[in-house]
Chains A and B, each alone.
Chain A
């Protein structure tokens, strides 16, 4: 598998799954545009440059469509087009009973986790239609397939990401655009760090989760590279589950 000279857009790559995937893409020769609100993305760019790769950081809030369009345009201009995109930026709300969620709390999660992916896909699809196609991978979650208590808005947003993925896949299937999602299970990232340190949470989490461990972010990147590559040329509208068996029961 190689992404030599391919231009790849990744949102939410300052840390965690996005960072690991950016490094994996760069190791295969991709030119990586990292769109993130988090300035630590600059460290990932430096890391990629240090290993001889090509990467740029576009500070970008995915809830703002104009900023997303600008970041996609930057990838196109600076990296010779756009070939693949990994829409990964997201927020994980604090566990909260559904009847206590505020409108503002609901809107915040939906703005980032759903509308952010929507903005990214709109800009990327518009670009792909001018060049004959490309591949999109969206980060859903096992919460896009099943529900956890106290996570109602996140569960709803991630289910919606799965729906958007299928809708775009079917709508643009004959125009060279493939759209798939990944559904990671529990992954050890800064986003989940506080949870993993909570012993009660760990016990609850792994009670029915036979594999009994969280994944390292690098264990997710192979799935994204596969789906973005020509090796997945007939894979469209699917959700690739990477959860150590969590949703098989």
Chain B
């Protein structure tokens, strides 16, 4: 194996992925499994997890059904991971939702705000804390938080998403903070900021929304879920050992315009 292959290798690493039952989380499971990692997959949907697992081949994999906004469920899943594999090397805090009912703030329902914050921000907090505690015991690890290009910019030109933008912006800055807090502990904490991907969160069934997303994206198309794989493997492997506290933008050029 050449140096360049070695630095992108995750053979034998143990990865925990939330939101692994669909979309980007499923793609993360696939790329880490294909490159030799063992997996603990977490999602609210048992059916979604089963579909993900069916596509993974002979990978050593454990699944846990639960909600990331439930602290005990996240703590339990990390305990399951340690029980099965004895360690945790890579944590993908990926589970998230879009605003349940997109609306400008003056008409925004409090229940939708709290639900979005619970999953998109509290969930990331619970996963990061539990994962980093384990990584500190074993000398390091990789945390990959799924933010969004709407963590770097307002979304209202496409859709009014006050809770989504607020929580994703918080994930970007939490990632900076944790990157600094654990820089000397060999725990690298980074975020990905996807643009428009063909996943359920983007409502691909709404033709007007689909048209708006393509028009908004300089590359003139939306992305397939598998186009996140390279960035995830990069952040999960030693290729990114000097990279921490950053947010990788994978948006077809949206943020540059």
Surface stretch bound by A, among B60-68, B70-78, B108-116, B237-245:
B237-245
Q: Does B92 count as interface, using CB distance less than 8 angstroms?
A: no
Q: Does A6 count as interface, using CB distance less than 8 angstroms?
A: no
The answer to whether B4 touches A221 (Cβ under 8 A) is yes
Q: Does B250 count as interface, using CB distance less than 8 angstroms?
A: yes
Q: B249 to chain A: closest CB distance in Å?
A: 4
Q: Does A112 count as interface, using CB distance less than 8 angstroms?
A: no
Cα–Cα, bound, A225→B220 (Å): 24
The answer to whether B252 touches A211 (Cβ under 8 A) is no
Q: Using an 8 Å CB-CB cutoff, how does the interface string of A211-230 with B read, 1 for contact, 0 for none? A: 11001001111110110011
Collect the chain B residues with CB atoms within 8 Å of residue A223's CB: 234, 239-240, 243
Collect the chain B residues with CB atoms within 8 Å of residue A231's CB: 229-231, 233-234
A244 in contact with B4 given A231-B229, A233-B227 (CB within 8 Å): no
Cα–Cα, bound, A81→B230 (Å): 24
Q: Does B54 count as interface, using CB distance less than 8 angstroms?
A: no
Surface stretch bound by A, among B81-89, B133-141, B176-184:
B176-184
Q: Of A174, A231, A242, which is in contact with the most chain B CB atoms at under 10 Å from its CB?
A: A231
Collect the chain A residues with CB atoms within 8 Å of residue B244's CB: 211, 244-245, 248
The answer to whether B246 touches A229 (Cβ under 8 A) is no
Collect the chain A residues with CB atoms within 8 Å of residue B242's CB: 185, 211, 215, 219-220, 242-244
Q: Does A146 count as interface, using CB distance less than 8 angstroms?
A: no
Name the contact of B231 in the complex, choosing from A28, A210, A226 (C-beta under 8 A).
A226
The answer to whether B253 touches A237 (Cβ under 8 A) is yes
Collect the chain A residues with CB atoms within 8 Å of residue B234's CB: 222-223, 226, 231
The answer to whether B257 touches A211 (Cβ under 8 A) is no
User: In A142-170, which residues have CB < 8 Å from any B CB?
Assistant: 165-166, 169-170
The answer to whether B253 touches A244 (Cβ under 8 A) is no
Q: Does B210 count as interface, using CB distance less than 8 angstroms?
A: no
Q: Does A126 count as interface, using CB distance less than 8 angstroms?
A: no
Q: Of B195, B229, B233, B252, which is in contact with the most chain A CB atoms at under 10 Å from its CB?
A: B252
Collect the chain A residues with CB atoms within 8 Å of residue B220's CB: 173-174
Cα–Cα, bound, A36→B155 (Å): 44
A28 in contact with B4 given A223-B243, A234-B195, A234-B219 (CB within 8 Å): yes
User: In A165-203, which residues have CB < 8 Å from any B CB?
Assistant: 165-166, 169-170, 173-174, 185
Q: Of B195, B239, B256, which is in contact with the most chain A CB atoms at under 10 Å from its CB?
A: B256
The answer to whether A170 touches B253 (Cβ under 8 A) is yes
Cα–Cα, bound, A165→B246 (Å): 18
The number of residues on chain A lying at the interface, defined by a beta carbon within 8 Å of a beta carbon of chain B, is: 44
Q: Does A27 count as interface, using CB distance less than 8 angstroms?
A: yes
Q: Does B205 count as interface, using CB distance less than 8 angstroms?
A: no
A210 in contact with B183 given A221-B4, A235-B250 (CB within 8 Å): yes
Cα–Cα, bound, A225→B252 (Å): 18
Collect the chain B residues with CB atoms within 8 Å of residue A234's CB: 195, 219, 223, 227-228, 250-252
Collect the chain A residues with CB atoms within 8 Å of residue B4's CB: 1, 24-25, 27-28, 221-222, 225
Collect the chain B residues with CB atoms within 8 Å of residue A211's CB: 183-184, 242, 244
Q: Does A249 count as interface, using CB distance less than 8 angstroms?
A: yes
The answer to whether A235 touches B2 (Cβ under 8 A) is no
The answer to whether A237 touches B195 (Cβ under 8 A) is no
The answer to whether B230 touches A226 (Cβ under 8 A) is yes
The answer to whether A174 touches B218 (Cβ under 8 A) is yes
Name the contact of A173 in the complex, choosing from B7, B176, B237, B252 (C-beta under 8 A).
B252
Q: A16 to chain B: closest CB distance in Å?
A: 14
Q: Nearest B residue to A51 by beta-carbon distance?
A: B2
The answer to whether A245 touches B256 (Cβ under 8 A) is no
Q: B248 to chain A: closest CB distance in Å?
A: 7
Collect the chain A residues with CB atoms within 8 Å of residue B241's CB: 219
Name the contact of A24 in the complex, choosing from B3, B179, B249 (C-beta under 8 A).
B3
The answer to whether A229 touches B7 (Cβ under 8 A) is no
The answer to whether A237 touches B218 (Cβ under 8 A) is yes
Q: A164 to chain B: closest CB distance in Å?
A: 11
Query: Please, could you name 14 A-B residue pairs with CB atoms under 8 Å apart, sorted by A?
Result: A24-B3, A170-B253, A185-B242, A219-B241, A221-B7, A222-B7, A226-B8, A232-B230, A234-B195, A234-B228, A236-B219, A236-B251, A237-B255, A238-B256
Chain A residues within CB distance 8 Å of chain B:
1, 23-25, 27-28, 165-166, 169-170, 173-174, 185, 210-212, 215, 218-223, 225-226, 229-238, 240-245, 247-249
The 3 A-B residue pairs with the shortest CB-CB distance, nearest first, are A231-B230, A237-B256, A222-B239
